Structure 1
């Protein structure tokens, strides 16, 4: 049995299964490096808000394809842990704008470095820039395709 089959990666596996596998293994790696913070996949939400201050919970739903209830629960947890602040949007009082706190702002560079280390370890290089662009475009296309579903 080949090593790759242990992870469920076979030649005839759907492309998306490979992407899912990559994502899951990166999360395992990240969590092993910052296990004391008990963040799990929620660190991705911190990163999204850090890069886009004022993002709404609905934006997170669209970006990550999670349910509104799941995002609301995660945002509440991140707020309780002191990583995210919610403020009422002055243009729409029924929505909240999300911003990172200083605690999150200190954490993000650490997460980014760990992510770079993981990419290096698994063989992602600067030569993969075009592949990154293509996969990002596929992700955007998928979001557009399903945004009204």
Structure 2
């Protein structure tokens, strides 16, 4: 049975998880991201990582990156990133080393434990993509979304 909600002066059909069909595009993108993170977390729950797995993957894919790189990519505060990195370091997934070119910054890298985890996370992510209907044929769509994300980052630089 369809469910309806009042939006201003109109009545609109409600869709899954309370998201209204006429929601802004960005709300749908946010929903996709959150649901993928929930799916991944449910598959690796024994590691108690949650959203922090995305930081491990980013560090793995970008050796010697900085905390600032994570802040820029994920739009999180420096404090939230620092807290997450501290936990990942304490849990043995990443290591921080002083950047010899700028002693006030750290270079981030995954440890062997982090290196071993990334392929598992990637497989869970691929499983999620398959389940939601993302295929290899969606290459152009993925590239366009990346382009939009990069343009958005440039706007706030």
How many residues are treated as equivalent by the alignment? 147
With a CA cutoff of 8 Å and minimum separation of 6, indicate the structure with the bigger relative contact order: 1
CA RMSD of aligned residues (A): 1.4
Q: Does 1:129 align with 2:139?
A: yes
Could you tell me the TM-score, scaled by structure 2's length?
A: 0.90
Find the aligned partners of 2:18 and 2:89 in 1 and give their Cα distance: 36
Unaligned runs of 5+ in 1: none
Could you tell me the TM-score, scaled by structure 1's length?
A: 0.95
Structure with more of its chain in strand, by fraction: 2
CA positional deviation for 1:70:
0.6
Structure 1 segment 90-109 matched on structure 2, within 5 A: 90-109=100-119
Find the aligned partners of 2:130 and 2:16 in 1 and give their Cα distance: 22
User: What's the secondary structure of 1:124's corresponding residue?
Assistant: coil
Query: Would you identify which runs of 4 or more consecutive aligned residues in structure 1 move more than 2 Å?
Result: 8-11
Unaligned runs of 5+ in 2: 4-13
Which of these two proteins has the greater Rg computed from alpha carbons?
2
CA positional deviation for 1:124:
0.2
Of residues 25, 30, 34 in structure 1, which corresponds to 2:44? 34
